[in-house]
Amino acid sequence: MIVKATREGLLGKATASGYVVDTFVPFVALPAVAALRRAVRVTNPKTGISHVALVLDVGPWNEHDEAYVFGGKRPQAETGTDMMGRKTNKAGIDLGEWMWRALKMLDNGLVEWEWADAPPHAPQT
């Protein structure tokens, strides 16, 4: 599914899975707790670059948007207001720092994501 991606940020802080955000692990956030620790392939349509990452955080904006994450619906946050009534930036996925750089993202923009069969390989430093 093609959705707006934003940069996770939060370096040094713990995610919903307990992972402490760094710049070495390819991870993303999707708005469903049940997605944690699953693998996804994310592609930047502008560059064609694609990488596999683990879902290690819940978000952006919502925590229970299973209709989007598992049901093929559009992200609820695209409405401009999240499930708690907060104004959103309409993002459907957050990218960790490693993914952001590896996909050559220059700003918030569109990416395509899908479930992946295998976890990501350890990134090369």
Name the residue ranges covered by the structural domains of the chain: 2-115
Asked if residue 121 has pLDDT above 90, the reply is: no
Confidence label for 117 from pLDDT (cuts 50, 70 and 90): confident
If DSSP states are collapsed to H, E and C, what string results for the chain?
CEEEEEECCCCCCECCCCCECCCCCCEEEECEHHHCCCEEEEECCCCCCEEEEEEEEECCCCCECHHHHCCCCCCHHHHCECCCCCECCCCCEEECHHHHHHCCCCCCEEEEEEECCCCCCCCCC
Q: pLDDT, tens digit, for every residue of 49-99?
A: 999 999 999 999 999 999 999 999 999 999 999 999 999 999 999 999 999
Asked if residue 116 has pLDDT above 90, the reply is: yes
| Percent residues over pLDDT 70 in the chain | 94
| Percent residues over pLDDT 90 in the chain | 90
Asked if residue 124 has pLDDT above 60, the reply is: no
Domain 2-115 has CATH 1.10.10.60: no
